[in-house]
Chains A and B, each alone.
Chain A
Amino acid sequence: MHRERKARRTLLAMSLMLAALFLVSFSLGRYGVPPFTVVKILCTRFAELFAGKGALARTWTREMETVVINIRLPRILMACLVGCSLSAAGAAFQGVFHNPMASPDILGASSGAAFGAALAILLGASTRMITLSAFCFGLLTVGLVMLVARRAPGARLINLILAGIMLSSLFNAGTSYIKLVADPSNQLPQITYWLMGSLSGTRLSDIPLAFLPMAIGLAPLFLLRWQLNLLSLGESEARALGVNTGRVRLALLLSSTLVTAASVSFSGMIGWVGLVVPHLCRKVLGSDHRYLMPGSFLCGAAFLLLVDDVSRNLLTVEIPIGILTALVGAPFFLYLIMRKEEKL
C-alpha cells in the first residue's frame, strides 16, 4: 500500500546515501585521492580477487593504493559495521523493552567489555587479546545479567534492567580500580584512549573477525523484525497473539548482545549511536520494525561513517570518535525530542 511503498523508497534513498558516503570517505584525508581514482582502485582490487594479481594496468601511484586499501578501507568498513551493529542493537532493545529510551548498553555489554579491555591492557596483552578479552567480558556480563534476572522473582523485563544497572556499575568500579593501579606512563593512557572509543587502529585483518559475530547477530535481528512489533506491545499481549515471548526475546537479546560486544571490543566505547539512530529512523520511517530495522542498519552505518570522517579530518590530531558521537548525538537527540510531530 501507499505507506509501504513510501517506506521502501526511503530505504532505497538511505542505501544510496550510504553508498555515496562510502565512496566519498575514501577521498577525505590529508593524502588526497580523487574519487574517480578511488573507484578504479577498488574495482581493480576486486577484479584481481578473481583474475589474479597484475591482471589490470595501474594508472595511479603506489601511495594512493596503500592509503585507499590498507588505511582507509579497513577503517571505513569498520565504521559501517560498528554503526550498523550498534543502531540495530539499539532498535532491538527499544522494541524488546518497549521503551524508546533503551540503548545497547542497558544490559551491561559495554561496561563488561570495557572492564575486559582494561584488564587485558593491565596484563600487557596484545591488541588482538585486548579485543578478545573485551568481547568475552561483554558476553559474560550479559550472561550474568540474564541469570540474575531469571532467578529473581517479579517481572522479567524490570529484573533485566535492574540487574543490568547493577552489574554495569560493578564492572565500572572494576575498571576504575584497574585505572588506579595501571602504570600511568603507558597503560593508563591506553585504557583511557580505549574507553573513549576509536577506529584508528583498525587493520584489514580485523574486518573478517568483526564481521563474523556481527553477521551472526544481525541476521536474526533482521529476520525477527515483525516479531519485534508484537513484542513492543508488551509481554501479555504478544503472548496472546501467539508469540513465544520467552524464546523470541531471548533470541533478540542474545543477538543484540553479540553485535554490541563485537562492536565495542573492536572500536571501544562509542555511545549514542544506538539511541540516536533508531530515533532518527523512527521519525523518518515510522515505528514499524519491518522498515525501522533495515533503516537502522543503513543509517547507523552512514552515521558512524560520517562521524568518523569528521573525527579524522576536523583537526590535525584525531578526535576520539566516542567523544564526537556524544557531541553530535546529545544535541541532535535533544532536537529530536523537542520536535513534536511524529511520523506514522
Chain B
Amino acid sequence: MSLTVENLSFSYGKHPVLHELTFTAEAGELLAILGPNGVGKTTLFKCVMGQERKYSGRIAADGADLAALTPRERAHRVAAIPQAHPLSFRYSAFDMVLMGTSHTLSPFNLPGEKERAAARDAMARVNIGHLAERPFDHLSGGEQQLVFIARALAQQAKILLMDEPTASLDYGNRLHVLGVVRDLSRAGYTVLLSTHDPQHALWYADRALALKAGRMLALGTPRKIVTADLLQQLYGRRIDLVETEQGPVLVPKEAD
C-alpha cells in the first residue's frame, strides 16, 4: 500500500510548521525522515495519523483520502509504533498486541480466538512469542518496542509509522529493532520512520527525506542525498562521509 502526501501544509495558529510537502512512499519501501528537532517530523506523523486534522493538502493511502476515513477505517490502513513508554495500568505483552486487533471488532465485542491467533502470529513474526505472558512494564525498552511492532502487525495495516522509535534504546536494541523494521519493509510494508541518526538512514532506509523548517530539502536514496553539505544544512555541523567497503560512515569534525 502506498502513502501519498500532496502539498501538505500545517500551522499551529500563525506559526507555520509544514510547508507544501509532497512525496510518496511506495509499498515495500522504508522511507527515513531526517531533520533536526522541531522541524515538523512529529507534526507530519500526527497529520498522517489524523491527530491533527486542520492541515491543507491531501494524504492518501492507495488513493483513498485518509481525512475522509473513520478511526477504524484508518486503523485498517495505517499503524503507529510509538516510542517505548510507561503505562498507567499493567497489561501483559500479549494483551498489548491483542489490542492491535480491536479495529476489526465492533466496540461492544471482545477479541475472540481469531484475534488471539492473529496476535500470536504477530508476536511469533518478530520472535517475541516467549514474552507473551510477561507484564509489559517488566520488559526492556527494546522488548517493548518489539511488542509495539507486533501490535502494528496484528493490526494488519500495511503502512507503518514510526516516530523516533529507537530514541530511548541502547545501541544493540536500536540496530535490532531497525533490522526488524527493514525486514518488514522487504516483506511489503510501507514504513515511514523518523530518525535522529543519518547513519541509520544510510544503513537501513531505501530512501530518505530531509526536512528543514517544515520544507523538503532533499528526497532520494540515502547514498545520493546524505552529503556533507546536506548534513551541514540540517544540523549546522561539519560531518564527513568516509567511504568504506560497506558504504559511507559518518565522522563528525570538531569545529576549529
Per-position 1/0 for A95-125, Cβ under 8 A of B: 1001110000000000000000000000000
Contact among B50, B70, B89, B105 for A287, CB-based, below 8 A: B89
- Determine whether B246 belongs to the interface, using a CB cutoff of 8 Å to chain A: no
- Asked whether, in the complex, the Cβ of A342 is within 8 Å of the Cβ of B90, the reply is yes
A100 to B87, CA, bound (A): 11
Q: Considering the complex, which residues of chain B in the window 40-99 have a beta carbon less than 8 Å from any beta carbon of chain A? A: 49-51, 70-72, 74-76, 78-80, 82, 87-92, 95, 99
Q: Considering the complex, which residues of chain A in the window 305-344 have a beta carbon less than 8 Å from any beta carbon of chain B? A: 342-344
Q: Which one of B18-26, B107-115, B237-245 is at the A interface?
A: B107-115
- Asked whether, in the complex, the Cβ of A226 is within 8 Å of the Cβ of B89, the reply is no
Give chain B residues whose Cβ lies under 8 Å from the Cβ of A286: 90
User: A95: nearest residue on chain B (CB-CB)?
Assistant: B89
User: A289: nearest residue on chain B (CB-CB)?
Assistant: B89
A240 to B48, CA, bound (A): 10
- Determine whether B223 belongs to the interface, using a CB cutoff of 8 Å to chain A: no
- Determine whether B4 belongs to the interface, using a CB cutoff of 8 Å to chain A: no
A224 to B48, CA, bound (A): 27
- Determine whether B229 belongs to the interface, using a CB cutoff of 8 Å to chain A: no
How many positions in chain A have a CB within 8 Å of any CB in the partner chain? 34
Give chain B residues whose Cβ lies under 8 Å from the Cβ of A244: 70-72, 107
Q: A98-B88, A244-B70 are in contact. Are A239 and B102 (CB under 8 A)?
A: no
- Asked whether, in the complex, the Cβ of B89 is within 8 Å of the Cβ of A98, the reply is yes
Q: Shortest Cβ distance from A96 into chain B, in angstroms?
A: 11
- Determine whether B135 belongs to the interface, using a CB cutoff of 8 Å to chain A: yes
A122 to B91, CA, bound (A): 49
A223 to B106, CA, bound (A): 11
Give chain A residues whose Cβ lies under 8 Å from the Cβ of B71: 239, 242-245
- Determine whether B100 belongs to the interface, using a CB cutoff of 8 Å to chain A: yes
Q: Which of A227, A230, A242, A244 has the most CB of B within 10 A?
A: A242
Contact among A98, A224, A241 for B103, CB-based, below 8 A: A241
Q: Shortest Cβ distance from A217 into chain B, in angstroms?
A: 15
- Asked whether, in the complex, the Cβ of A100 is within 8 Å of the Cβ of B95, the reply is no
Give chain B residues whose Cβ lies under 8 Å from the Cβ of A223: 108
Q: Shortest Cβ distance from B212 into chain A, in angstroms?
A: 26
A26 to B106, CA, bound (A): 42
- Asked whether, in the complex, the Cβ of A232 is within 8 Å of the Cβ of B49, the reply is no
A243 to B92, CA, bound (A): 20
A245 to B72, CA, bound (A): 11
Q: A240-B75, A241-B103, A243-B71 are in contact. Are A226 and B90 (CB under 8 A)?
A: no
Per-position 1/0 for A1-13, Cβ under 8 A of B: 1110000000000
- Asked whether, in the complex, the Cβ of B111 is within 8 Å of the Cβ of A226, the reply is yes
- Asked whether, in the complex, the Cβ of B90 is within 8 Å of the Cβ of A242, the reply is no
User: A97: nearest residue on chain B (CB-CB)?
Assistant: B88
- Asked whether, in the complex, the Cβ of B99 is within 8 Å of the Cβ of A230, the reply is yes
User: A247: nearest residue on chain B (CB-CB)?
Assistant: B107
How many positions in chain B have a CB within 8 Å of any CB in the partner chain? 34
- Asked whether, in the complex, the Cβ of A232 is within 8 Å of the Cβ of B88, the reply is yes
Q: Shortest Cβ distance from A86 into chain B, in angstroms?
A: 20
User: B151: nearest residue on chain A (CB-CB)?
Assistant: A241
Q: Which of A95, A230, A287, A342 has the most CB of B within 10 A?
A: A287
Contact among A230, A243, A245, A287 for B90, CB-based, below 8 A: A287
Contact among A2, A232, A239, A248 for B107, CB-based, below 8 A: A248
Q: Shortest Cβ distance from B13 into chain A, in angstroms?
A: 11
Q: Shortest Cβ distance from A176 into chain B, in angstroms?
A: 34
User: B95: nearest residue on chain A (CB-CB)?
Assistant: A288
Give chain B residues whose Cβ lies under 8 Å from the Cβ of A95: 89
- Determine whether A229 belongs to the interface, using a CB cutoff of 8 Å to chain B: yes
Q: Shortest Cβ distance from B2 into chain A, in angstroms?
A: 20
- Asked whether, in the complex, the Cβ of B89 is within 8 Å of the Cβ of A239, the reply is no
- Determine whether A75 belongs to the interface, using a CB cutoff of 8 Å to chain B: no
- Determine whether A236 belongs to the interface, using a CB cutoff of 8 Å to chain B: yes
- Asked whether, in the complex, the Cβ of B107 is within 8 Å of the Cβ of A240, the reply is no
- Asked whether, in the complex, the Cβ of B133 is within 8 Å of the Cβ of A3, the reply is yes
Q: Shortest Cβ distance from A119 into chain B, in angstroms?
A: 37
Give chain B residues whose Cβ lies under 8 Å from the Cβ of A248: 107
- Asked whether, in the complex, the Cβ of A241 is within 8 Å of the Cβ of B155, the reply is yes
Contact among A100, A241, A344 for B100, CB-based, below 8 A: A241
Per-position 1/0 for B174-209, Cβ under 8 A of A: 000000000000000000000000000000000000
- Determine whether A237 belongs to the interface, using a CB cutoff of 8 Å to chain B: yes
Per-position 1/0 for B142-153, Cβ under 8 A of A: 000000000100
- Determine whether A212 belongs to the interface, using a CB cutoff of 8 Å to chain B: no
User: A292: nearest residue on chain B (CB-CB)?
Assistant: B89
User: B81: nearest residue on chain A (CB-CB)?
Assistant: A240
Q: Shortest Cβ distance from A1 into chain B, in angstroms?
A: 8
Q: A226-B109, A227-B107 are in contact. Are A242 and B102 (CB under 8 A)?
A: yes
Q: Considering the complex, which residues of chain A in the window 242-260 have a beta carbon less than 8 Å from any beta carbon of chain B? A: 242-245, 248
A245 to B153, CA, bound (A): 22
A244 to B71, CA, bound (A): 6
Besides A239-B49, A240-B80, A288-B91, 14 other CB < 8 A contacts?
A223-B108, A224-B108, A227-B107, A232-B87, A232-B89, A236-B49, A236-B51, A239-B51, A240-B82, A241-B99, A242-B71, A242-B74, A242-B155, A343-B90
Chain A interfacial positions (CB closer than 8 Å to B)? 1-3, 95, 98-100, 223-227, 229-230, 232-233, 236-237, 239-245, 248, 282, 286-288, 290, 342-344
Q: What are some 7 contacts across the A-B interface (CB < 8 A)?
A: A229-B95, A230-B102, A232-B88, A239-B71, A244-B71, A244-B107, A248-B107
